Chain A
């Protein structure tokens, strides 16, 4: 075998190995989706069924018999609400910091990041206590506030990085023309930063959507999100595999697609901008 052939063969093996690993990693998800189209009997059949007549029964039943829609709406409201609130606070701040960087800017950003390191369980009791006292316990408003604060440091840091990439000359030119700060943000900065803001929002939505600690601890029925709803299926063993799979598939599908779309921005966001 020549060197070239050997190289070629090695490559071939690597590609086959890559496909096998990918299939192994994806298998649990594939199996969940497949199970959601089985009847409950088929779902627990031994040997496991790969070929069967698919049914949509589970999907119609969870809409009719459970409060699936309510929990889905709660997830949407809290994820989008938390993200919107975080952006509302972060955009002006990140903008001001990026274009008027001062001696303390870096320290402020690093301090903000450090608040993200506070483990949720460390402040469980006070938050629980405050939620009860203010009557916000088990409300969507509470989760919106917590999710916004939880993601604010990351959102600030990514937006700061995006705003930094806007050439300063453009802004200086517009300032010479006497544009007001409000118009400057609206007409020049926002159009340029739009992509960055959208992908920041996407990352924040993903993090809120999959958040499990606060949604389990701070809600009982009214404001429970899909993560908490899915957690409520933990008890009855074995009986509802197909229905749980249907709920899970619906709950995960939008976020997995979001994740695929935002791969690059995710790397930046998840590493706090340290890997680009």
Chain B
């Protein structure tokens, strides 16, 4: 192919992605420095960093930031530990393995709004839910999940959806593990734990870091689960940054403050993204 043609073929994807990135990004930054509230259209003008100050000093900001970190951190620990355990458990030939795999990864393909409703209604409902039923069976008082432990409920829902993701990735990369090496280790009398520490874990080091980074990108942006179940409440107990910004824009109609929050979210995501892109870049052979 001649170089001109190569350039023409590449151009569309580069141009549209550049526009998709630069136009909204610069608009967000611009909005974040001006007075812009849909309820008070007469108030305009450049106000510097006041929107940021407003966003940071909002009494909901710190709880939302903390919730975001707790949410992301807990889900990461749960999904990686469970994902490791389960994928090692099924990393052996047995009858019905295909079905077990399919059952294990299915939750990942359920749309987030559906999964939120299943958990909210049929499992966690304090009157008619299954958990309440089992609590009554053993004589305990049913927990009002979404009222009393809203953030933990969200963590459970998200972990249910994303542990399958970890299983899927770990399972795939375990298949490329050197079996002979494992057999040799067994013959040498290496127990399960020492094999896990010295063979399996090093083999899974990269997949684990990729799983963690990708999940961080997605979990910083958790929205649908909160929107459908707790609406961020009670109070701000289950509000994360994404939801807080959403509330600023949709209920307070404050474009300026919401944009300042958006810039904050972008910075947070980019701290993670730098590491992820580096990890992916290492594997790309050009």
Contact = CB atoms under 8 A, between A and B. Distances in A.
A217 B133 CA distance: 36
A125 B260 CA distance: 10
Given A96-B6, A106-B286, A115-B21, A252 B103 contact: no
A266 to B, nearest CB: 7
Interface in B153-194: 160, 163-165, 168-169, 172-173
Contacts of B285: 164
Given A125-B255, A181-B1, A274-B279, A28 B107 contact: yes
A216 B265 contact: no
Interface stretch (B39-47, B52-60, B69-77, B268-276): B268-276
Contacts of A66: none
Contact of B228 (A231, A266, A274): A231
A95 B223 CA distance: 36
A244 interface: yes
A13 B153 CA distance: 31
B13 A121 contact: no
Contact of B221 (A22, A106, A119): A119
A108 B284 contact: no
A221 interface: no
Contacts, number: 300
Contacts of A90: 13
B141 interface: no
Interface residues of B, number: 105
Given A18-B90, A44-B128, A112-B13, A244 B280 contact: no
A123 B224 contact: no
Contacts of A233: 117
Interface in A150-167: 152-153, 156-157, 164
Contact of A267 (B109, B168, B269, B282): B168
B242 interface: yes
Label chain A's interface by main secondary structure: helix
B102 A25 contact: no
A21 B6 CA distance: 51
B104 A117 contact: no
Interface string B103-127: 1111111111111011111110101
B214 A100 contact: no
Contacts of B6: 96, 100
Interface stretch (A54-62, A136-144, A193-201, A255-263): A255-263
B206 A274 contact: yes
Give the interface size class of chain A: 35 or more
Given A46-B128, A212-B112, A270-B169, A126 B281 contact: no
A124 B258 contact: yes
Given A29-B107, A241-B122, A149 B266 contact: no
Contacts of B11: 93
A78 interface: no
A97 interface: yes
Given A124-B262, A126-B23, A251 B114 contact: yes
A31 B122 contact: yes
A122 B108 contact: no
B67 to A, nearest CB: 15
Contacts of B89: 14, 17-18, 21
B140 interface: no
A238 B120 CA distance: 10
Interface in A13-50: 14-15, 17-19, 21-23, 25-26, 28-29, 31-32, 35, 44-48
B21 A129 contact: no
A124 B5 contact: no
A174 interface: no
Contact of A118 (B115, B258, B269): B269
A153 B190 CA distance: 44
Contacts of B273: 114, 117
A128 B249 contact: yes
Contacts of B100: 18-19, 22
B111 A115 contact: no
Interface in A246-276: 248, 251-252, 255-256, 258-260, 263-264, 266-267, 270-276
Nearest to A266: B168
8 contacts: A25-B104, A25-B106, A35-B122, A93-B9, A100-B6, A118-B269, A216-B223, A231-B228
Given A93-B9, A125-B249, A212-B112, 4 more contacts: A18-B100, A216-B224, A238-B121, A274-B280
Closest 10 CB pairs of A and B: A126-B27, A117-B273, A212-B224, A123-B24, A259-B109, A96-B9, A93-B13, A26-B103, A122-B266, A122-B262
Interface of B: 1, 3, 5-6, 9-14, 16-17, 20-21, 23-25, 27-28, 31, 86, 89-90, 92, 94, 96, 99-115, 117-123, 125, 127-128, 130, 133, 160, 163-165, 168-169, 172-173, 206-207, 210-211, 214, 217, 220-221, 223-224, 227-229, 241-242, 245-246, 249-250, 255, 258-259, 261-263, 265-266, 268-270, 272-273, 276-277, 279-286
